[in-house]
Amino acid sequence: MLDQIIRFFRFGRQDGEFELLETERGIPEFWGDAREEAPLPEQEDTRKVCKSLAENEERLRISFRADINPDLILRPFTLGGKIPAFLAYLNGMADTDQVSDFILRDGMRPGCLDHARGDLARYTMENVFTMGEAETTEAWADVKQAVMEGRSAVFIETCGQAVLMDTRGFEHRSVTEPQAEKVVHGPQEAFVENLRTNITLLRRILHTEDLVCEMRGAGGDNGIRIAILYREGITNITLVEEVKRRLAQIDTRTVIGMGVLEQLTEEHSLSPFPQVLQTERPDRSAALLMQGHVVVLLDGSPFASVMPATLFTLMTSPEDVYMRRLQGSTIRIVRYIGAMISILLPAFFLALALYHQGLLSTEVLTTVIASRKMVFAPIGAEMIFLLVVFQLIREAGMRVPGNIGQAIGIIGGLILGQAAVAANLVSSVVLIVVALTGLGNFCIPDYSTQLAAAFFRLTLTIAAWIGGLLGVICLMTVFLAWMASLKSYGVPFLAPFSPKAHSQKPMILRGRLTMHQQAEDIMNTQEETL
């Protein structure tokens, strides 16, 4: 019986009825010898470009499954009216106007090869094709990668090289306002899914020659492009090398988003706190680059990852520097107070109501008792229930369209709350405590940090239900020790307070504007310098 239950919940190779075996179904005819010629995705393709056009064309047809995939365009033409050649690109990924005007028209122009000598591929790249970005390669893996990225490849008869030209022209979303990091003052531009556009947005802000942009590939056979940006001479080289090392260790077949990339490169996978700051604002990324951080951009993702990320970096809003010093400092103090209320208020209220009634005034205690006179559930269960309901309402409001999300907030916050109090399911005082907790939670600017605060809030509430203030203090000590042990790319998560390090600017207050453009000592990833 136990074996049957295990087999029911397990989807494995023991269940032959769920498998489509090649021995039973056979190999499709259109594959031909592709299974023998094409390398496996996990294996590195070390082949070279052939001198035969027919063989190169057959390789492309096999690699891109041309018999069933109509996206691959193989356009034969005569180079200079003398030499056979063909052009390869993916329809929809390449700009057809550039292909027609700068490759085919220039390549078929009579007499363009009259003075050709030496390396034919390099000669055509330098003297025939009028593309801004072009290169020659003899590695077949580079050819496949270029075609998949939207570039065009030109193959010439008797030439063991391919000419790769940047003709990428696929449709992408235009630059719009930020959705998650809105500000009253400051730029109203956000990153998009196009990597080149995102790099341009950063370079429009940072007009400096020491800004370095290195391109890397990740994701196995997917070959997704990653851009690593830092300031040479400002950013700690140890930090840069650590970022490169972790990106090079990615062994998954595909990286579809920045969240996946963060999980694959983070050091503490069980930590509720993010070790990387994700932002959709180019101005915030540029400001952190000025301070010595490393910014990673992923093709297809509208977010930038900033390394390292400390607690104070996650609690900083991009609008702080756009306000006057006094206003920015006040807003920061309010933000930290809201975060403390969000994490500690339910636990402290529950501990006082259950175990330490003597610390409450008579009026407050009388109000709490009167509000719970007809409530049948224990106050601890009531508190946890409302915290869970708050998270349900928030998630429901975020996953639906904007207008419907506002309606869900009204229904959940007003109608459901009033109905629960009227039905004596919850008390009004506990409902007010949870409402203040929700308001404090929204003061935290980073969404991942808000989820971490929700985790701490729930666990501290359970500790207060079990052990009162003693349980809260003990668990807070464990959490603080845990946070002090975390590191983000070598930088302690609580730096510069733990361990104590020299800081040129205040972490909670805003400080002078000149302080926000300087690299911090805590950015040195070598432990002996902290």
Q: How does pLDDT run across 311-369, given as a tens digit for each residue?
A: 888 988 888 888 888 888 888 899 999 999 999 999 999 999 888 888 888 888 888 88
Residues 85-109: what's their mean pLDDT? 90
Say whether both 123 and 218 belong to one domain: no
**pLDDT at residue 224, rounded to an integer:** 75
Say whether both 305 and 329 belong to one domain: no
**pLDDT at residue 269, rounded to an integer:** 79
Residues 281-291: what's their mean pLDDT? 90
Condensed to tens digits (0 to 9), the pLDDT of residues 419-473 reads 777 777 788 888 889 889 988 998 898 888 999 999 999 999 999 999 999 999 9
In a domain, 26, yes or no: no
* Dihedral-angle region of residue 215 (phi above 0 means left; psi in -120 to 50 means alpha; beta otherwise): beta
Residues 174-186: what's their mean pLDDT? 82
Higher pLDDT, residue 328 or 24: 328
Range of the domain at 444: 322-485
In a domain, 499, yes or no: no
pLDDT at 131 over 90: no
Helices (H), 304-378: 311-314, 325-354, 362-371
CA gap 444, 316 in Å, rounded: 9
In a domain, 190, yes or no: no
Per-residue confidence band for 476, with pLDDT thresholds at 50, 70 and 90: very high
Where is average pLDDT lowest: 289-293, 410-414, 419-423? 410-414
Say whether both 96 and 132 belong to one domain: yes
Per-residue confidence band for 59, with pLDDT thresholds at 50, 70 and 90: very high
pLDDT at 23 over 50: no
Say whether both 313 and 199 belong to one domain: yes
Say whether both 250 and 349 belong to one domain: no
DSSP codes of every residue in 466-492 = HHHHHHHHHHHHHHHHHHHH-EETTEE
Higher pLDDT, residue 502 or 32: 502
277, 293, 320: which is the final residue of a domain?
Answer: 320
* Dihedral-angle region of residue 150 (phi above 0 means left; psi in -120 to 50 means alpha; beta otherwise): left
Strand, helix or coil for residue 413: helix
DSSP codes of every residue in 40-79 = PTTS----B--S-HHHHHHHHHHHTTTTT-TTEEEEEEEE
**pLDDT at residue 279, rounded to an integer:** 92
320, 339, 372: which is the final residue of a domain?
Answer: 320
CA gap 374, 434 in Å, rounded: 19
Residues 203-231: what's their mean pLDDT? 81
255, 288, 320: which is the final residue of a domain?
Answer: 320
**pLDDT at residue 16, rounded to an integer:** 40
Residues 177-202: what's their mean pLDDT? 86
Say whether both 340 and 472 belong to one domain: yes
CA gap 463, 350 in Å, rounded: 10
Say whether both 331 and 434 belong to one domain: yes
CA distances from 399 to 109, 392, 393, 475, 519 (A): 55, 11, 10, 32, 38
CA 248, distance to chain mean position in Å, is 17
**pLDDT at residue 34, rounded to an integer:** 42
In a domain, 35, yes or no: no
**pLDDT at residue 48, rounded to an integer:** 92
In a domain, 369, yes or no: yes
Say whether both 331 and 478 belong to one domain: yes
Say whether both 295 and 354 belong to one domain: no
In a domain, 356, yes or no: yes
Say whether both 314 and 337 belong to one domain: no
Q: Are 315 and 444 in contact (CB under 8 A)?
A: yes
**pLDDT at residue 342, rounded to an integer:** 93
Q: Omega before 308 cis (within 30°)? A: yes
CA gap 134, 252 in Å, rounded: 30
DSSP-assigned beta bridge partners for residue 277: 306
Total count of domains within the chain:
3
In a domain, 228, yes or no: yes
* Residue percentage of the chain with pLDDT more than 70: 82
Residues 80-88: what's their mean pLDDT? 91
Please provide residue 447's backbone torsions phi and psi, each rounded to the nearest 5 degrees.
-65, -40
In a domain, 417, yes or no: yes
Residue written as tokens 């506002």?
A: 406
Strand, helix or coil for residue 528: helix
Please provide residue 238's backbone torsions phi and psi, each rounded to the nearest 5 degrees.
-65, -40
Taking alpha carbons only, the member of 53, 52, 49, 51 closest to residue 76 is: 53
Q: Are 77 and 108 in contact (CB under 8 A)?
A: yes
Please provide residue 77's backbone torsions phi and psi, each rounded to the nearest 5 degrees.
-155, 170
**pLDDT at residue 305, rounded to an integer:** 93
pLDDT at 248 over 80: yes
**pLDDT at residue 20, rounded to an integer:** 38
Angle between helix 379-398 and 447-485 (nearest 10): 120
**pLDDT at residue 38, rounded to an integer:** 46
Q: Are 314 and 494 in contact (CB under 8 A)?
A: no
How high does pLDDT run on average in the chain?
Answer: 81
Per-residue confidence band for 75, with pLDDT thresholds at 50, 70 and 90: very high
b/e per residue 474-486 (b: at least 16 CB within 10 A): ebbeebeeebeeb
Say whether both 342 and 450 belong to one domain: yes
Say whether both 316 and 361 belong to one domain: no
pLDDT at 36 over 50: no
Burial class (CB in 10 A: 0-12, 13-18, 19+), 138: middle
b/e per residue 64-73 (b: at least 16 CB within 10 A): bebeeeeebb
Taking alpha carbons only, the member of 367, 415, 369 closest to residue 389 is: 415
Within 10 Å of residue 137's Cβ, how many Cβ atoms?
Answer: 18
Residues 482-494: what's their mean pLDDT? 87
**pLDDT at residue 35, rounded to an integer:** 42
